[in-house]
Structure 1
């Protein structure tokens, strides 16, 4: 594995951060929360949009935030990229940070009134769960002329690693979820991306067109893959039902990434929860981490939330909130 060690800079704006200890999960404001249960340290590590890190021994009391991401300011990301939907994965004795980086100073396209900024899913690496996470060999994992986001990780039954990601609706008008094969050490991608499904394939996500007519929603967001107790391959992903942030699920008919992906008729989580991921506690309980989506005045508030789930059967079943007061 080739790793570049030169010209690193933190991707966060240079501002004073307030470090907190022993705070409950619902006191943290965080979009796209993703939790790694690290058996090496016996700690839970949570990251998400913003790319910062929180630590916990029990999922109840958290400390942070910690800066863990370093990038090359001479790369396409620029000196201070935005970070979305970061998630940590342990693979072959290394830790990997799958995240979306946006350089707002680089415009790659203009669609209607929207300037399409340079945005892409990318992977950083570290020897420790707490970082720092730094770039690897390949500067680009995905095409520079396409806005991509919310990259996640999966090793298919063929033993090959893949990034699963969204190709953003802002450019294509009908968001997609796609896959691209990764090099064995995840230091770059192999070949081109392949379509798995489109936003319009969903039977539950809806929106109104300019004339007020009902139609499929165009947004794909937050894919995350899993297997049920019967070995069925599934994917949770998020879109909208009009103005309600909502998460659904699809299952692969073939049991592989190539699908075809069959969308469930109904959402899998309560309204205004989404961008989920799954993990097991150190005691073996399966949990789903999501964020709530709520308008408070002119601001949108997003708070991490955990749900207990059941994967023992043929489908993912959401049971109840975890650590409910």
Structure 2
């Protein structure tokens, strides 16, 4: 019940953010910890020598030094006849480059006017990960290619990009726990130009595989948490393939990591026994600063002056020089 109420509140916040976009006031020289943003993802663009930060809500911030930021900018445009509708909710947007000159916007879109299922009393809205595209980092990002990327009868979220050792591009995404009651991490092959998907999704691992996440079930028994959230892929300097992802330890947002024994997306994926960031941090991604230092972008659950939970972007230094991802103090 608590998580259902949390999702309803989060949906309301996202709707308010969409409404606020109509009267955007661009601000300058804003410190990172003064920004309120869920699921922050940062692209370090070598062409413009700027950092571009996206996330939930569909807006963008930019910075030359990762300290002071300008924004928020509206960077997406939608067609009214797409499955998303003219003003979808936008979660966990990421920017990716493949070397072909385009900027790709991976995000989760929700059309609240369309209901696809009801499970255990929860009405599930049409929600899916899809890719938009633009010819510059500031957009506008628009749909292209296939009308849909993932099955219309499933709620999916947090799609991210990875080119595997077979040279093929993939979307890695979550099958939402609201429908399957045991969240999944899955892959699906993308077309070479990212304009659509090929074949069917394949499950990489499930929420129940986590050794560190926890919650109480309907009987009050301690069990694994059913949420899978925020996948992001990386390789260490030794070539080891890893994935950071997020779940919960009771009511605390928490992040773990898994490593592929085969070095490919097919795994098997072995979960590290303990979380990798302090409590309350999660939904991360990795990027390199222009000086080469690896960074992790996350958000932190904190309380404002009125006692309300807010989500604040935060950066950790990361060491990938060995066989594991290490968060540096």
Query: Is this a same-fold pair by TM over 0.5?
Result: yes
Give 1:24's aligned residue.
31
* 2:248 is the counterpart of 1:240: yes
Q: SS of the counterpart of 1:256?
A: coil
How far did residue 82 of structure 1 move?
Answer: 0.1
- Among 193, 196, 201, the alignment partner of 2:209 is 201
Query: Please, what TM-score do these two structures have when normalized by structure 2?
Result: 0.92
Q: SS of the counterpart of 1:125?
A: strand
Task: Report if aligned partners of 2:24, 2:73 keep a CA contact under 8 Å in 1.
Answer: no
Instruction: Show structure 1 runs of 5+ residues with no match.
Output: 1-10, 321-325
Q: Find the aligned partners of 1:60 and 1:257 in 2 and give their Cα distance.
A: 34
Give 1:88's aligned residue.
95
Give 1:184's aligned residue.
192
* 2:319 is the counterpart of 1:310: yes
* 2:66 is the counterpart of 1:42: no
- Among 273, 277, 290, the alignment partner of 2:285 is 277
* 2:22 is the counterpart of 1:15: yes
* 2:70 is the counterpart of 1:63: yes
Give CA deviations for 1:130-165 in whole Å, capped at 9, x if unaligned: 111110110110000000000000000111000000
Q: How many residues align?
A: 310
Task: Report if aligned partners of 2:52, 2:137 keep a CA contact under 8 Å in 1.
Answer: yes
Q: Find the aligned partners of 1:294 and 1:77 in 2 and give their Cα distance.
A: 31
How far did residue 18 of structure 1 move?
Answer: 2.1
Q: SS of the counterpart of 2:23?
A: coil
Moved more, 308-317 or 288-297: 288-297
Q: Find the aligned partners of 1:190 and 1:121 in 2 and give their Cα distance.
A: 15
Q: SS of the counterpart of 1:245?
A: strand
Q: Find the aligned partners of 1:253 and 1:112 in 2 and give their Cα distance.
A: 36
How far did residue 300 of structure 1 move?
Answer: 2.3
How far did residue 37 of structure 1 move?
Answer: 0.1
Matches within 5 A, 1:1-325: 12-13=18-19, 15-91=22-98, 92-296=100-304, 299-320=308-329
Give 2:5's aligned residue.
none
Q: Find the aligned partners of 2:217 and 2:327 in 1 and give their Cα distance.
A: 32
RMSD: 1.1
Q: SS of the counterpart of 2:139?
A: coil
Q: Find the aligned partners of 1:235 and 1:257 in 2 and give their Cα distance.
A: 10
How far did residue 204 of structure 1 move?
Answer: 0.1
Q: Find the aligned partners of 1:234 and 1:126 in 2 and give their Cα distance.
A: 29
Q: Find the aligned partners of 1:221 and 1:235 in 2 and give their Cα distance.
A: 11
Give CA deviations for 1:152-183 in whole Å, capped at 9, x if unaligned: 00000111000000000000000000000000
How far did residue 26 of structure 1 move?
Answer: 0.4
Give CA deviations for 1:192-226 in whole Å, capped at 9, x if unaligned: 10000000000000100122110000000000000
How far did residue 298 of structure 1 move?
Answer: 6.5
Give 1:7's aligned residue.
none
How far did residue 307 of structure 1 move?
Answer: 0.2
